[in-house]
Chains A and B, each alone.
Chain A
Amino acid sequence: MQERIGVFVCKCSTNIGNKIDVDSIVSDVSNIENVVTAKSHNVLCSNEGLEFLMNEIREGNLSRMVIAACTPKMYEQRFMNVCEASGLNPYLFQMTNIREQVAWVTPDKDLATEKAKTLCLAAINRISFQESIEKKEIEVQPDVLVIGGGVAGIEATLTLTSRGRKIILVEEDDDSGTPELKQSAQFRKVYLVEKSPCIAGFSGRFEEVYQTMECAPCMLAPELQEVLQKDNVETLTYSEVEEIVGSFGNFTVKIRRKARYVSEEACIGCNACFEPCPVEVMNQNNLGLSKRKAIYIPYAGALPNVPVIDKENCLHLNGKECNACEQACAFGAINFEDKEQIIERNVGAIILAIGSKLSDPTQYPQFGYGKFDNVLSAIQIERLNATNGPTGGKILLKNGQEPKSIAFIYCVGRKEIGYCSGICCMYMSALAQHVKEKLPDVKIYSFYTDLCLPKKEHQRIFEKVLNKGVEFIRSDGSEYVDSDGKQLIVKYKIESSKKSQLIDMVVLAPPIEPNQDIEKLAKLLEIPLDENGFFSEEHILMKPYAAPLEGVFIAGTCQGPKDIGDSVSQASAAAGKILSKLMLGEKLELEPIVAEIDEEICCGCNICIGLCPFSAINRDSERNIAIIDDTLCRGCGTCVAACPSGATKARNFTLEQISAEIREVAK
């Protein structure tokens, strides 16, 4: 079929019209083979201009179109829409930029005209090689996997499951044959996978949190209950993700559900099983400050309120004769035969919200942590302060007495780890405030090098603490903790003069660092970690909620240290992106400008596989060729440039198309 090319040159009023001899271009290109129409227009992007184009395409029965106008960054999409509306495939349209890159940068009208003409000819040359591209849609799974049941995971789960989609079905009544409208709703399902036996994460352990000084368990309880009671949320506690395959829209996930030995269905949470258990071990949830039984819940009020039996320490599970808990349970909930299970689920997207941890202060031996009693990490004193903690909320020394003086040491390990955790100044201030309320006569010294108070509420909280009589001492970061056998001594320097202070208790604020599971998940998904070991973002400013893999999102402190508010915001952003991309009942539209491999030509050299920045190319070992995953390819064309056999093609940027342009512009 003879091609029918239309060429339209926009004058952009005087912007192009005064700088370039548009009429001479139009008359020159109209003689080119297959160009059936060449016209100029005063303002193509105007409504009138768009209508003009639509008529030209329809009436001229154009099979291809070239527009020379402003930068395609402005109106290319608008012109593509016109093509679509006029029945011309938008990829049979090419735009060339004669305003920003010619008229506005070339003062000499002759030179500008010549350059603009060259660019038009290049576009006309190119257009003959362009191919129609159809937008591809794939079926997707709208369900989502959320890994981590902390505040970020909870928020994401609730956002994702907040609304369903109403479906109206037309059914014929069997008897009368009359159509009947039936309403139902479709809901997105979320699988919330949490490694520990309870949800709420780190935040759930705090008595009161800044900036509101609100009780965290009270603040979180309604949200946790909602998650546990929602029909379209499957909460898998005591579970870990073992395998993830697939890509955006269609992931298959294998989850290992550890044996809890207590039935979640039968247990009513009366806790009658704890008392008779003869085993006592350190309670890691209270960071070794108290003991627990072999059947336990991590802390009072933990949800779901179902105990777990610790396999390592339970006598029965280690072949000894004991079934004390089983006898105590009136509901038959104890099941020593419970086995770990592998559960498989299909999801369209994944949110990583596995949190972080406080680094172990024994790494910084100058502070005497682990060496002296009464040197505590910030989370340990939080547990002492918590009414569900080991002392019932009393701040006590190891010998059971109240401390008369406490030193708070900020920025522990910051120099070594190389970043500021950003939240310690605030939680230490909040802690100091709580301690002052419980022990009004205690003397508090806060040793700091720099203060980080970036948010609108921070300054006010800090000043409140100052007014309560907490003494802030700015040292040079060389503090170390010693002991005279009775009391602790904090030694420090101010402007190189050595000082020391006798102290009853020392509280350390160590850095926040990535969780131990982060590497395993990064490996499973083949996504990168940053230099500090947190998940890398797709773009730290523009897409801080997404991992650099389509369909995988990050929320909360696994992306970097942050407070509850920021974690909630990031989780909502991640969930929101999923809601807008994986619509219930809709297919997923794929990026049309991607690379493709000609299976007949590909020799299976695999060069392209290593080059792809998005891991979109895989090897088909049976056929010994490379295959591109359309859902992951972004169309950069790096693989195309490297293919030694020319098997790879960049849609809309093919070798033929670019060569055709080069032929004209190189002249």
Chain B
Amino acid sequence: MKKEKFTIVTFLCNWCSYEGADRAGSARLNCPANIRVIRVMCSGRVEPQFVIQAFRDGASGVLILGCHPGDCHYKKGNYKARRRIILLKKTLKQFGIEQDRVRLDWVSASEGTRFAKIANEMADTIKQLGPLSELEALN
């Protein structure tokens, strides 16, 4: 079995990005198989702890997608996510985790193409960075 060497844990908000990912499917757009989706109600639900756990459990990248700014189903959850992720990326850097391994972006429910594009870009980025190997700092 061909096994891709890395995984990207992907958090999608229920209202916009999860549907965006579904649209990519309806349009039969290729997405990398190492994108592994976890559905949350809002990108604002994503705790920094989830990201750290994902790396600790073997992920090489974490992708968080929410509604576009101003479109959040819960008004401002995506802004809260943005605040946290900016801070988290700075912290991760101190653990030796490249900032590009975490990406927060916005995909609306109609943007299947955008979802596929971001998913492929993310996979390319992680491919270039290589898998995140044993992380003593986090374990």
Contacts and interface: CB of A to CB of B under 8 A. Distances in A.
Interface stretch (A98-106, A399-407, A450-458): A98-106
Interface stretch (B45-53, B90-98, B100-108, B121-129): B45-53
Interface string B60-91: 00000000000011111100100010000000
Given A73-B19, A101-B22, A666-B58, A642 B38 contact: no
Interface band, chain B: 35 or more
A635 B40 CA distance: 10
A641 B45 CA distance: 5
Given A659-B53, A662-B54, A665-B9, A638 B30 contact: no
A569 interface: no
A16 B48 CA distance: 34
Contacts of A265: none
A642 B74 contact: no
B41 A667 contact: no
Contacts of B116: 105
Contact of B7 (A99, A102, A665): A665
B26 A665 contact: no
A663 B38 CA distance: 11
B1 interface: yes
Contacts of A99: 25
Nearest to A659: B53
A667 B25 contact: no
Contacts of A638: 42, 44-45, 74, 76-77, 80
A339 to B, nearest CB: 43
Contacts of A465: none
A636 interface: yes
Interface in B18-36: 18-19, 21-22, 24-26, 28-31, 33-34, 36
B45 A667 contact: no
A118 B40 CA distance: 18
B45 A636 contact: yes
B76 A655 contact: no
B26 A658 contact: no
B33 A112 contact: yes
Contacts, number: 140
A641 B58 contact: no
B33 A663 contact: no
A450 B74 CA distance: 38
Given A638-B74, A640-B45, A73 B40 contact: no
Interface string A87-128: 000000000010111111111101110110011001000000
A104 B9 contact: no
B112 to A, nearest CB: 9
Given A636-B41, A665-B38, A111 B54 contact: no
B59 A666 contact: yes
B57 interface: yes
A548 interface: yes
Contacts of A611: 80
A653 interface: yes
A236 B11 CA distance: 52
A634 interface: yes
A653 B47 CA distance: 12
Contacts of B42: 636-638
A613 interface: yes
Contacts of B74: 613-614, 634, 636, 638
Nearest to A106: B33
A635 B73 CA distance: 11
A272 B130 CA distance: 93
A112 B46 CA distance: 26
Contacts of B24: 100, 105
A433 B39 CA distance: 60
B15 to A, nearest CB: 10
B22 A71 contact: yes
A521 interface: no
A566 to B, nearest CB: 25
Nearest to A126: B38
A328 interface: no
A104 B28 contact: yes
Interface in A581-638: 593, 611, 613-614, 634-638
Contacts of B54: 662, 666
A105 B29 contact: yes
A637 B38 contact: no
Contacts of B1: 110, 114
Contacts of B136: none
B134 to A, nearest CB: 14
Given A71-B22, A638-B44, A658 B38 contact: yes
Given A636-B77, A653-B40, A665-B9, A114 B45 contact: no
A158 B56 CA distance: 61
A97 B2 contact: no
A551 B38 CA distance: 32
Given A106-B33, A641-B80, A636 B53 contact: no
Interface in A499-520: none
A650 interface: yes
A666 B36 contact: yes
Contact of B80 (A111, A119, A642): A642
30 contacts: A71-B25, A101-B25, A105-B28, A105-B29, A106-B30, A106-B31, A106-B33, A107-B30, A111-B33, A611-B80, A614-B75, A636-B41, A636-B42, A637-B41, A637-B44, A638-B44, A638-B74, A638-B76, A641-B44, A641-B46, A641-B48, A641-B80, A650-B45, A653-B45, A658-B38, A662-B38, A662-B54, A665-B7, A665-B37, A666-B57
Given A105-B24, A662-B50, A666-B59, 12 more contacts: A105-B28, A105-B31, A108-B2, A110-B2, A119-B37, A636-B77, A637-B40, A638-B45, A659-B53, A662-B57, A665-B36, A666-B54
Interface of B: 1-4, 7, 9, 18-19, 21-22, 24-26, 28-31, 33-34, 36-42, 44-50, 53-59, 72-77, 80, 84, 116
- Sorted nearest first, the 3 A-B pairs with minimum C-beta distance are A100-B25, A637-B45, A638-B44
